[in-house]
Structure 1
Amino acid sequence: MSFESLNLDSAILRAIEESGYTTPTAIQSQAIPVVTAGHDLMASAQTGTGKTAAFMLPALNLLATPHELKSRGPRILVLVPTRELATQVNEAARKYGKFIRARTVSIVGGMPYPLQNKLLSQPLDILVATPGRLLDHMERGRIDLSRLQMLVLDEADRMLDMGFLPDVERICEQLSAERQTLLFSATLDGDIARIAKQILKNPKTIQVATQKEKHANIEQRLHYVDDMTHKNKLLEHLLIAPEVNQVIIFTSTKRHADVLAEDLYAAGHKTAALHGDMTQGARNRTLTKLRQGDVKVLV
């Protein structure tokens, strides 16, 4: 299957070709026809399967046809659990929508309100947001959702884990019942299935990977330690192993992350901390250094 066979607008196909992609992934080839046909969708897809394009390409295809209402508000709303994911979705929208001139805005926690107010006062097509900050702006009457045609819940399982479910439900109550809703999650059972039943209408279901497949290449170990000194020595032993390239260490508190990062840096490791007390700019710079290999140990 090729992207040309998915009945996407020529301007979108041009952007896909310019990005260097020739063949859709499994989630893309299955999801795009369902979405362009107007169905609601529940999709189970892991990170790295191309799921962002699976909903962004048909969303942009919707934008290729002008809306009858002349409003400043968005036609596509994408809810995400984190600022980093919002940035990723925003970049995908701009990359694939460059030739249809889709106007995209990202509204997340940590951004100054005056800047967000300015962005929301301008005409836009796609709004990418974290639930809490979006609900805040909605309650202040700063967003016009009269043109909204599509709602996307990206990584719905993470939003559930992070306690965003009440905010998501309140947002959905204020949206048009005529909207098309897409839900993407690593799993589709339990609470995710209950949420989907509430906010989706006769959805099609797609599963391209199971949890077992997700963890197939992960080895898990548990080490018991006697005390803090023993734990630190064991950590150092793991970090200097020749087969170790990059490491992520999780700590119980933000303060502990800073202290451990400083200690490991002093010991000669290329280390950086990452947590919610850092500015968005600092978080972005740290993640960029990690991707480029300048940071070997992320705490």
Structure 2
Amino acid sequence: MSFETLGLHDVLLKSIRAAGYTEPTPVQAQSIPAALAGGDLMVSAATGSGKTAAFMLPALHRLTMESPIRSIGPRILVLTPTRELALQVTKAAETYGRAMRRVRVVSVVGGMPYPAQIRLLRQHVDVLVATPGRLLDYIDRGRIDFSRLEMLVLDEADRMLDMGFIEDIEQIAAALPEERQTVMFSATFGGQVGRLAEEMLREPTRIELATHRDTHENIEQRLHFADDDAHKGRLLNHLLRGNDVQQAIIFAATKRDTEFLADRLATDGFAAASLHGDMPQAKRNRTLTALRRGEVRVLVATDVAARGIDVPTISHVINYGMPMRAEDYVHRIGRTGRAGRSGVAITLAGPAERGKVRAIERFTTQNIPVHVIEGLEPHFKPQPRDPNRRFGDRRNGRGFGGEGSRGQGGGQRGGEGRQWGDRPQREGAPARRDDNWGNRGTYGDRGGFGERSNDRGNSFARRDGGNTARPAAGGFGDRPRRESQWSNDRRPSGDRPRFEGRGNDRQGRGGGRFDRG
């Protein structure tokens, strides 16, 4: 199949050929004709499969026809979760519309000066690419006219909802014309994404080409266990010095880690730079430009770079810090192996991060092969995994641990289940006292302090009803008790109770209690 068979305008085909594209990807081959038909669309496809062109080419095709409404407002609106992805979409729109006349693409994202963006919005706009928060600011100020909007695109809808943009998206949609085409791209359409699609889309065509369970055949995944951060640093240094590393993205867990790690790598002689959300937008743009030009060989970033970086020369992705969510792992490794190339995704995990590794394997339903570098072997021995185990199978209760899983009828590590309290006696531990750990009665039947084997006295003698007896009078200095204050007659409401005295023998534990009558 070729782009000529998809029904695109000739001017777009000219730009596609100039960009070097010959055949559409599967997501483009199915999404473009459906989008050109004019109906709403739901698409799920893998990272790096050409999703941007799948919605941008039909959007630009609309611009080849004149709008019946005279306005300077945008005809196409694309919402993205991050600034990096917005800039990537903007660049793609400019590339595909290069041969078109008077097509103006504007991006509105956070981190950029308001006056400069306002000047852009005062002029004629055809395609507006924006992040939800900044766009909503301009809608509230009345800076944008959506009277001629024809198409709304939600790119990475699941990520936008994860970032808390659902209310912003609903408010933006309410400000748009009802008669419009809505196209939604998402990794999954369950949960909030599915509910949002039901609210915003009208009888959409659903195209699902890939899920998080798909195998990334062009990406080799490896897992290296590390004893501690120092061991992890030695592994990273060894991996980056490999001859097969062209460019690499290292994902760290926090913003502070990105700067610390980038500085350390620069000291070791690597052309490294950091990228995180707190950096000014101008600096982020310069860093990404240097990465695309090859001036930066190693980029250390947070998950802000897990979506939106499209650099074909990235050969390696290294998870130095584990992702907070298993879904982010899929988007991280998708930064390599792009444009039909092969890539390597390496995860460095410490002893405390084995649970996150298992969560990723459950999410992707795939085992990550464990690799060991000679001379950098880990000292701790992770539990061997059954290569024939199918993720998601529940055996003997919860989880997928088979005979060793917890569950009804199964013990903690297999065998017959035990009842609560049947834990075996630990070797070397003192024998349990029958009066405290033996056959217990119902709640509240435990004896008082004076009835225990350590014989602390009998000051809490039992009375009928389970109440404790009042200790003997006396206290510091054996002050005489005044009958007017310590009588058992109930006092009127509001009279504050007085403390009882404490005995000098210190055998009882009842001193200092309130007598409430």
Query: Fold-level match, TM-score > 0.5?
Result: yes
Residue 17 in 1 paired to residue 8 in 2? Answer: no
| Contact in 2 for aligned 1:44/1:187 (Cα 8 Å) | yes
Q: Deviations over 1:120-149 (max 9, x none)?
A: 000111100001000010011000011111
1:202-252 residue CA offsets vs partner (Å, 9 max, x unmatched) = 0001122232325443424252424x4344334334433454443333333
1:218 and 1:175, CA in 2 relative to 1: closer, same or farther beyond 3 A? Answer: farther
| 2:67 is the alignment partner of 1:64 | no
| TM-score, structure 2 as length reference | 0.55
Task: Evaluate the alpha carbon distance shift between residue 20 and residue 252 of structure 1 in structure 2; reply closer, same or farther with a 3 A threshold.
Answer: closer
The residue that corresponds to 2:48 in the other structure is 48
Give how far 1:89 is off: 1.2
Unaligned stretches of 5+ residues in structure 1? none
> 2:246 and 2:14 mapped to 1: Cα distance?
37
Question: What's the counterpart of residue 164 of structure 2?
Answer: 163
Once residues 135 and 202 of structure 1 are traced to their aligned partners in structure 2, the CA distance between those partners, rounded to angstroms, is: 27
Distance 2:130 2:11 in 1: 25
- For 1:134, the equivalent position in structure 2 comes to 135
CA distance in 2, matches of 1:57, 1:129: 18
Rounded to whole Å, the distance in 2 between the matches of 1:2 and 1:243 is: 34
CA RMSD of aligned residues (A): 1.9
Q: Unpaired segments of 5 or more residues in structure 2?
A: 301-517
Match of 1:82 in 2: 82
SS at match of 1:65: coil
Partner of 1:28: 28
TM score, norm. by length of structure 1: 0.92
Give the aligned residue type for 1:166. Answer: E
Please say if residues 46 and 185 of structure 1, whose CA atoms lie closer than 8 Å, have aligned partners that are also in contact. no
The structure with more radius of gyration? 2
Aligned counterparts, 1:258-269, within 5 A: 258-269=259-270
Distance 2:94 2:102 in 1: 8
What is the alpha-carbon distance in structure 2 between the residues aligned to residue 86 and residue 221 of structure 1?
A: 32
Q: Deviations over 1:143-166 (max 9, x none)?
A: 001111100001112212222222
What amino acid is the match of 1:185? S
In structure 2, relative to structure 1, the CA distance for the partners of 1:76 and 1:231 (3 Å cut) is same
Q: Give me the whole-angstrom Cα distance separating, in 2, the residues matched to 1:112 and 1:11.
A: 34
Q: How far apart in 2 are the matches of 1:160 and 1:15? A: 34
Between the aligned partners of 1:223 and 1:292, the Cα distance in structure 2 is 33
What is the CA deviation profile of residues 82-121 of structure 1, one whole-angstrom value per residue up to 9, with x for unaligned ones?
1111111112212222324321111001110000100000
What is the one-letter code of the residue matched to 2:71? Answer: S
Tell me how far apart the structure 2 counterparts of residues 239 and 28 of structure 1 sit (CA, whole Å): 35
**Per-residue deviation, residues 15-45 of structure 1 (Å, max 9, x unmatched):** 2222222322211111111111111000012
Equivalent AA in structure 1 for residue 186 of structure 2? S
Deviates more, 1:101-110 or 1:90-99: 90-99
Residue identity in the other structure for 2:50: G
Corresponding residue of 1:219: 221
State the shift of 1:281 in Å.
2.6
More relative contact order in 1 or in 2 (CA 8 Å, sep 6+)? 1
1:94 to 2:98 alignment? no
**How far apart are 1:78 and its partner, in Å?**
0.3
| Distance in 1 of aligned mates of 2:203 and 2:222 | 39
- One-letter amino acid of the counterpart of residue 214, structure 2: E
> Does the 8 Å contact 1:11/1:100 carry over to 2?
no
Distance 1:242 1:7, change over 3 A: closer
2:328 aligns with none
Distance 1:17 1:249, change over 3 A: closer
Structure 1 Cα separation of the partners of residues 149 and 119 of structure 2: 20
- The structure richer in helix per residue is 1
Paired residues, number:
298
Most deviating of 113-122 and 164-173:
164-173
| Aligned partner letter, 1:178 | E
Match of 1:115 in 2: 116
- Distance of aligned partners of 1:13 and 1:244 in 2 relative to their CA distance in 1, 3 Å threshold: closer
Cα pair 1:38 1:180 within 8 Å, conserved: yes
